Amino acid sequence: MARSRDKRLRTICKGALLTLVGVLLGALAAEASTISGTGTAELLDEGPYAGWYQYTYDATWDLSKGLSHLDLILKPGCVAEDHLFHFDTDMGGPHDGLSTGEGWGTNDPVVFTVPYQGFFEVGGDPSVSVSAPVAKWEPDETDDEPGKQGVGTFWFYSNVIPEYSDFGDVMVAKYGPHKKSGNLSGAYPSCEIIPEPFTAGFLGAGLVLVFVMKRR
């Protein structure tokens, strides 16, 4: 009886130890991984999104597993109905992002072989425990897939005005069962929208009137 009890105890301890080791290895893998990006915003004057901004994000990652998908966490105010986020694939375009593939290394020439499809997820991304709205890019099923190391360019179109700064932990990489947050520098949606043409004209006229009054 005592021998059987000791055997069960050893089995329980061994299971607990293996679980602890798995947790520690997962934490170390997540800690060693990195993701970061830079953003730009261009006000378009032609095409289907004329008058909107094209946001473009250049991302770099170094992970313990291949990239599953990429999120850009947005401000909660971006879920308002008049705050619009569209992707090229919404208009029948081929993709919303491109990146290097599985065999790419940091010393290799940058060649984009993996296309992505983008989505605006109002409810966030439960797979990385994010409840705020996100712009999400998932790789398309092709002959190649994102690697542990990689660089990529991702974009969308919006009537939201950009702001510029350094933004902490707004980029999230999902890789295997892990996630890693990283910083963004440059353009980021402010969640203030472009005024309607009449409103913009009215505001412009008001500013001119104020300037004239001050000159008197």
Both 146 and 196 in one domain: the answer is yes
Both 145 and 204 in one domain: the answer is yes
Mean pLDDT on 173-196: 94
Both 2 and 102 in one domain: the answer is no
Query: Is 149 contained in some domain?
Result: yes
- More confidently predicted of 209 and 99: 99
Whole-number percent of the chain with pLDDT over 90: 73
Domain region containing 15: 1-32
What distance in Å separates the CA atoms of residue 86 and residue 192, rounded to the nearest whole number? 16
Residue 49 corresponds to which tokens in the numbers above? 């999104």
Query: Is 125 contained in some domain?
Result: yes
Confidence of residue 195 (pLDDT cuts 50, 70, 90): confident
Both 65 and 130 in one domain: the answer is yes
Both 18 and 117 in one domain: the answer is no
Answering whether pTM is above 0.85, one says no
Both 128 and 155 in one domain: the answer is yes
pLDDT over 90 (residue 51): yes
Both 143 and 197 in one domain: the answer is yes
Please tell me the predicted confidence (pLDDT) of residue 23: 35
Kindly provide the b/e burial profile for residues 22-38, where b requires at least 16 CB atoms within 10 angstroms of the residue's own CB. eeeeeeebbeebebebe
Query: Is 58 contained in some domain?
Result: yes
Please tell me the predicted confidence (pLDDT) of residue 10: 53
Lowest mean pLDDT among 19-28, 113-122, 156-165, 168-177: 19-28
Both 99 and 138 in one domain: the answer is yes
pLDDT over 70 (residue 25): no
- More confidently predicted of 122 and 214: 122
Query: Is 215 contained in some domain?
Result: no
Query: Is 62 contained in some domain?
Result: yes
Query: Is 167 contained in some domain?
Result: yes
Mean pLDDT on 100-107: 93
CATH number of 177's domain: 2.60.40
Query: Is 127 contained in some domain?
Result: yes
Q: How many CB atoms lie within 10 A of CB 186?
A: 19
Please tell me the predicted confidence (pLDDT) of residue 29: 42
Query: Is 88 contained in some domain?
Result: yes
Both 23 and 42 in one domain: the answer is no
**Whole-number Cα distances in Å, 190 to 7, 52, 135, 164, 216:** 61, 14, 14, 9, 36
Mean pLDDT on 187-195: 93
Both 51 and 85 in one domain: the answer is yes
Both 87 and 124 in one domain: the answer is yes
Both 11 and 86 in one domain: the answer is no
**How many separate domains does the chain show?**
2
Confidence of residue 8 (pLDDT cuts 50, 70, 90): low
Nearest to 37 by CA among 206, 150, 186, 196: 186
158 neighbors 51 (Cβ within 8 angstroms): no
